[in-house]
Amino acid sequence: MSALVLIVGRLAAETKGVRGEPFAAGQRYFRAVARAGGTPLMLPPIPELVDEVPALISRVDAVVLHGGGDIDPRHYGQEPSAEQLYGIVREHDAVELAVVRAALDADVPTLAICRGMQVLNVAMGGTLVQDIGNESHWMSYSHDVVLDADSLVAAAIGTTHPKACHCVHHQALDTVASGLHITGRTADGLVHAAEVSDARWIVAVQWHPEDSAAADSEQQHLFDALLAHT
């Protein structure tokens, strides 16, 4: 049986072919995991399931934390202060923070993408810049990222200078949590790659590799490396 990869779903406003309000997650994450040889599973964001998360994490082989709206700043000790905050959903925060903490405790291989990177940092005790004030990171298709040569990300992608990193974010890591090691930045200094120092393979990127992974082997290799470490 192929490795089981947990992806946390989202509350969704509507979809076709189902009765009632749906849970959802972007197909690109699931397809990238499937191309890497894994079987993706979706966990619905139901806070009442939080106590079951550690037991669930013990039964899967890897985790993908994906993009989405902002984390409630209260989770990192701040009051909301930026007008640009959007998409804060209590259920998403509760379940994803529980999943991250369980994955850290169990040392389950994890790929944390965009919001996922921010959730990882917050779960480990770090903080975020509520708005970076830099529109070039919102819907940009051409960011270059410079990676540390000895980083897990560079080893996975096969280069220290990936050129096609699609960014869709208005927040960034501020105080980096103890135990989270920065391994990549863009030219303006924003953290775009990090890894948990004492973990088997817990890697975070600020860009969206799933967006181009079907056609870009460098980006697909991040999902391949996740599965290779299960």
> Mind telling me the catalytic residues?
114, 208, 210
Alpha-carbon distance of 138 to 172, in angstroms, equals: 12
| Close Cβ partners of 112 (under 8 Å, ≥ 6 residues apart) | 64, 65, 100, 119, 120, 202, 203, 204, 205
**In 3D, which of 41, 68, 32 has the Cα closest to residue 218?**
32
> Which string of DSSP letters, residue by residue, matches 64-85?
EE---SPPPGGGGT-----TT-
Alpha-carbon distance of 221 to 230, in angstroms, equals: 14
Task: Read off the amino acid at residue 28.
Answer: R
The answer to whether 4 and 59 are in contact (CB under 8 A) is yes
**In 3D, which of 178, 205, 73 has the Cα closest to residue 128?**
73
Strand partners, 143: 165
User: Can you read off the two tokens belonging to residue 168?
Assistant: 């869709």
Task: Read off the amino acid at residue 49.
Answer: L
User: Can you read off the two tokens belonging to residue 155?
Assistant: 């080893």
18: burial class by Cβ within 10 Å (0-12, 13-18, 19+)?
A: exposed
Task: Read off the amino acid at residue 9.
Answer: G
